[in-house]
Amino acid sequence: MTKQCQGCGAPLHDRTPGTPGYLPAHVLAKDSAVICQRCYRIRHYGQDEMGPVTAERASKAVLDAVSWAEGVIMVVDIMDFEGSLSWDLIRSCGSKTLIAAVNKCDLLPRKVADLEAVTWVRKRFTDLGVPATVALISAASGTRVSDLVNYCELLGHQRWLIAGASNTGKSTLVNALLKEEDQVHSATVSRFPGTTQETVAWSHRRIGEFKDSPGLVPPGRLSDLLPQSAAALLIPARALQGKVYSFSKDAAMAIQGCAAVVSMDGSDDAVAVGFTASDVAWQRANSTKLDHWLASDSLSGDEFDSVTVSLDVGQELVIHGLGSVAMRRRRTKLILHKPKGVKFTVRPNLIGGKHHN
């Protein structure tokens, strides 16, 4: 029986160096060989020369595993909520139990109470028509992972699939579950998209068998259009930061090489707040020199398009796989400049004043 890499799930082999699952023959022959050369280099050197699993291969592996599972734990990144939803996964669940493990709650500002965040997430799922039970967690710190385990145990299912978009924290959640079991082995975690190659099975004394799975690639995320090194900079991994700027007419904000917004009709007391939870940040920009701000080798020549967006007070514009812009005090019409194919959402604020109909 072919052994799997316990880090990424790739079948272990000694045939083709430079491919997922490869180990030199003398290492593969050892009983202790449990992670492939690629995972070793990711863990110890922060390097992934082989690149991510393809979107098609990841989707097939996940959808095959859905049929095996009795329940699905869909990991969602609260920092990129709409961008990290996989509608193929949601639809494939059918009548199966679907738990949304909304991850990275530790990146939210302290002023956002847990109840406020849970209420916001539940309302978003209701508005989007997603029939999921919500569990707000931080897989990295282990916050409320035990509550998730308690709920899974209460349901009584013995086969769980952990799935979701890439870089939402699936493998980090797996490691939090394994930590409860005092297991020596662990899944490989990195900020590179597509680290997990195949489904990997684990056992847990309270919830039965569960599988980690490759990250799905929802269409329209900016981070999925970039090379790995650039994409890693956009993965939410830091406490959410907001940059506040006055936003009168023709004022502009930009994340260099990624996106820009320009006010079409802002008043003198209009205020915009740009949020990110990654290694990039919004900056004040000159609306007459946006070509300079948007030019970047990392986008590999992607063309930009421009969209007019109206933002009410209490609403925010979210650019999938990047960040968001919220308006304070005044309703404002914006021009959004973004790479073609990147999606955006206008939604009620996650942070700050909420929009009331």
Specify the pLDDT at position 357. Answer: 45
| Res. 324 pLDDT band, cuts 50 70 90 | very high
Q: Does the structure show a pLDDT above 60 at 86?
A: yes
Q: Domain spanning 51-218 has what CATH number?
A: 3.40.50.300
Q: What is the per-residue DSSP string for 202-242?
A: EEETTTEEEEE-PPB--TT-GGGGS-HHHHHHHS--S--EE
**Over 50: is that where the pLDDT of 300 sits?**
no
The residue-averaged pLDDT of 53-60 equals 79
Please tell me the predicted confidence (pLDDT) of residue 188.
Answer: 59
What are the sequence ranges of the domains in the chain?
A: 1-50, 51-218, 234-348
Radius of gyration of the chain measured on its C-alpha atoms:
21
Q: What confidence score (pLDDT) does residue 274 get?
A: 95
Is residue 123 within 8 Å of 111, Cβ to Cβ? no
pLDDT score at 193: 58
**pTM for this predicted structure:** 0.85
What is the chain's mean pLDDT, rounded?
86
Angle subtended by helix axes 145-155 and 170-180, to nearest 10: 80
Alpha carbon separation from 284 to 20, 97, 298 (Å, rounded): 42, 45, 21
Under DSSP, the state recorded for 43 is: H
Tokens for 355?
């929009």
Of the candidates 20, 60, 62, which has an alpha carbon nearest to the alpha carbon of residue 40?
Answer: 20
- The enclosing H or E element of 146 equals helix 145-155
For residues 174 and 187, the answer to whether their CB atoms sit within 8 Å is yes
Looking at residue 257, its pLDDT comes to 87
